[in-house]
Chains A and B, each alone.
Chain A
């Protein structure tokens, strides 16, 4: 087991990479995956703190986060499929119908 800060830095790294992915990539699937990355970064932080605080709460939260992430991924991908069916593309840069 490494010192606390190491784990947290990994978590921060994961999160930042996820942010970059959301902003830069055009492919919708990759964007959703970047969001999953960010979620996992949070999970890591939770488990880390649970361990160092002698608490199980962090692990339980992670349990629930994973469940929610699963549901979210399923629905998100379903929407993605619908979008693809309508617009023949998964390029998020093409999704600009919400403008005035």
Chain B
């Protein structure tokens, strides 16, 4: 059990237990630092695991441990097994690394909150489940983690549950996820039915034999798995919970809804890539949905006024990129973007949290502006994050997004359409993120003089993670620089996992040209944003006046929530009410009450026998004698 994998996994759980047993007595400082400590140790363990992997030859980079035999029914067996290969190692590094930074940030952000101990327990618990998800060696352990992070997401979104909006958002997240989980389960059943096992290695080996390429079975499985992924990774049609999830504390948004949980769907699909490679119809659908999602979310993000909402829709959009990459077979690129996105999105969220903290809870960008003077560290780091996400060379986002765009164009499952979607999305991304930056940190300040005087930068516990992530956003992409031989260690690292599937062949010149185009698009987006929100602020209002319908449509998120409500929620509600009133109350309760009533009725009838009238008793006895005589003489004869 002193296995490195077990250590990585159980450290956060230890944090949960420690805080659960002693947290409330020892107070906020204890809880926070215990949580941070276990996270830091878990990160160290992840690094150790990573190093251990590097020590092995590339084709043998696999560490496994089975903790215990979990299920054994006939020939079906599932072990509580963990496995570390390049993919899961990478994921653990991201989860524990970014997670540690966010835990540190939380100490500052949640300072003074009533239930801070509960917060850290939930946060550590979340990391435990997330690690279960990425370290699992079979689909069932992964599913345990999958459900667990869903639970923690609910708990943390609704952390301030006395606020009705927060508890509603938590419920929405959980219920919408449930739909995806249901599809996931059906996929699991099918896999068990076909393969008789849920172990990744076993399925990988027997997949070509048991499944026909493009067959209905594998297509169904892949689509069902993808359905589960749309829930967790907020794609069409199950993305609606993510914007509402902003009701939770900002560090929660950073950790769960930017860096880790939402990437679970992408991870799942990357993990099962060998199945997806066998179902071209499914992957086509996946790519289309990914492209559609990234465009939809990006358009909505351009007009939102709540700073966290912009970032939420941005997350949905970036997840769309990753999903599209999976759809066209660029698994390595998808994971690359997952990593860089974790860096800059967490940074942006925490930066937004810093701004909100400084403004004592204000989240409306229209009330911000010019904060760079009062919040230098925050604004600088956020700007770095914004530049990264916009895809400007040489920051991280440029390389990862470019990798996706390139694969979208050149992969045999891709095409011009996907590239166009991605490019448009890139333009919009640069636009809305710089709109956010300009409105928040630059330009004229919309606060009163009174409020401006009270502004101060956040404490070190909050700015330190920002700085670290800013550095990572800057250099994080350099592990994946293409073309220059030997520098793209990222792809090389993941190659044993994805086999030949992750490779794309390219002509040097073509690729350079594509990179230039990506860069140009990003610059164009920034230019437009600068125009509308710095130079010509009145002009932006003019656009709103000229296209009121379009503006309303985007501002109200295409009314998707309303559509869902009328198409799905209300009918279900009506059926439920009907079931409750007529069936539960009417039938079940009535039958139970009826049984009681019947007994009372019978009692009333039988009570009449006890007349108290002596003669009638005598008569009854004689009648009994008569009956016995009758029986004896007619029956026995």
Contacts and interface: CB of A to CB of B under 8 A. Distances in A.
Interface of A: 19, 22-23, 31, 92-93, 95-100
B614 interface: yes
Contacts of A96: 611-614
B615 A92 contact: yes
- Chain B: interface size category: 10 to 19
Contact of A19 (B614, B615, B617, B622): B622
A56 B591 CA distance: 66
B59 interface: no
10 contacts: A19-B622, A23-B615, A23-B618, A31-B618, A92-B614, A93-B615, A97-B612, A98-B610, A98-B617, A99-B612
B546 interface: no
B568 interface: no
A23 B619 contact: yes
Contacts of B622: 19, 22-23
Contacts of B610: 98-100
B625 to A, nearest CB: 9
Contacts of B611: 96, 99
Nearest to B625: A19
B607 interface: yes
Nearest to B614: A95
Nearest to A28: B614
Interface in B604-637: 607, 610-615, 617-619, 622
Contacts of A93: 613, 615
B135 to A, nearest CB: 73
A17 to B, nearest CB: 13
Interface string B138-164: 000000000000000000000000000
Nearest to A98: B612
A94 B607 CA distance: 20
A19 B615 CA distance: 12
Nearest to A22: B618
Given A19-B622, A22-B622, A23-B619, A98 B607 contact: no
A100 B607 contact: yes
Contacts of A31: 618
A74 B607 CA distance: 34
Contacts of A98: 610, 612-614, 617
Of all A-B residue pairs in the complex, the 4 with the closest CB atoms, nearest first, are A99-B612, A98-B612, A96-B613, A96-B612
Given A98-B612, A100-B607, A100-B612, 14 more contacts: A19-B622, A22-B622, A23-B618, A31-B618, A92-B614, A92-B615, A93-B613, A95-B615, A96-B611, A96-B614, A97-B612, A98-B613, A98-B614, A98-B617
A19 B619 CA distance: 9
Contacts of B619: 23
Nearest to A19: B622
A99 B618 contact: no
Contacts of A92: 614-615
Nearest to A100: B610
Contacts of A19: 622
A19 to B, nearest CB: 6
Most buried by A among B612, B613, B615: B615
A23 B626 CA distance: 13
Most buried by A among B607, B617, B618: B618
Contacts of A95: 613-615
A1 B619 CA distance: 36
Contacts of B613: 93, 95-96, 98-99
Nearest to A20: B622
A41 to B, nearest CB: 13
A78 B619 CA distance: 23
Contacts of B614: 92, 95-96, 98
A99 B255 CA distance: 78
Contacts of A22: 618, 622
Contacts of A23: 615, 618-619, 622
Nearest to A97: B612
B629 to A, nearest CB: 11
A96 B619 CA distance: 14
Nearest to A26: B615
A97 B612 CA distance: 5
Nearest to A95: B614
A78 to B, nearest CB: 17
A96 B611 CA distance: 7
A23 B622 CA distance: 9
Contacts of A97: 612
Nearest to B619: A23
A22 to B, nearest CB: 6
Contacts of B617: 98
Nearest to B607: A100
Nearest to A35: B618
Interface in B221-254: none
A98 B610 CA distance: 8
Interface in B365-420: none
Nearest to A91: B615
Contacts of B618: 22-23, 31
Contacts of B612: 96-100
Contacts of B607: 100
B618 to A, nearest CB: 6
A92 B619 CA distance: 13
A22 B615 CA distance: 8
A76 to B, nearest CB: 13
A12 B153 CA distance: 91
Contacts of A99: 610-613
